Homo-oligomer: A and B are copies of this chain.
Amino acid sequence: MKSLREYLWFEIKGRRGFVNITDTVQELVRKSEIKHGLCLCNAMHITASVFINDDESGLHHDYEVWLEKLAPHAPTSQYHHNRTREDNADAHLKRQIMGREVVVAVTDGKLDLGPWEQIFYGEFDGNRRKRVLVKIIGE
């Protein structure tokens, strides 16, 4: 069994944003020389997500509006977590909706994705350096 582990680093300007990381992860699969296995991609921070959906700016706008409706940032005083001198409680909630991680099959040395599947880093509390972990195992 082979394995590879790498970090991807991000520093999103502003509070929230989405970054397509599909090509970067695909390059790591190639580097791993693994033909058949599983590829885990997870946010290492608890106010960020890795998720799979469409690379369409209108949809990303819709996610932004929707998440803000389900878990509003303001008033920040509504959240007990913000009594710890943070203002990011909403980011911990939004990340649970979008998820921490994805697991993608590796087949014939490539990410085995559907036609519209793209892997995204989702930031909900930006202006900080944060990491995504990529771990690939297989043969």
A116 with B45: in contact, given A40-B38, A79-B62, A137-B36 (CB under 8 Å)? yes
A35 to chain B, nearest CB (A): 9
Contact of A105 with B51 in the complex, beta carbons under 8 Å: no
Please provide the chain A residues from 73 to 89 with a CB less than 8 Å away from any CB of chain B in the complex.
79-84, 89
Contact of A96 with B99 in the complex, beta carbons under 8 Å: yes
A76 to chain B, nearest CB (A): 11
The number of chain A residues touching the other chain, given as a range, is: 35 or more
Contact of A59 with B92 in the complex, beta carbons under 8 Å: yes
Contact of A3 with B112 in the complex, beta carbons under 8 Å: no
Instruction: Identify whether the interface residues of A are mostly helix, strand, loop, or mixed.
Output: mixed
C-alpha gap A40/B36 in the complex (Å): 13
Q: Which of B58, B84, B100 contacts A79 (CB 8 A)?
A: B58
Contact of B5 with A107 in the complex, beta carbons under 8 Å: yes
C-alpha gap A95/B117 in the complex (Å): 13
A-B pairs with beta carbons under 8 Å apart, 14 shown? A1-B36, A3-B37, A5-B112, A42-B105, A45-B114, A58-B82, A58-B83, A59-B80, A62-B79, A63-B92, A97-B97, A105-B133, A107-B135, A112-B133
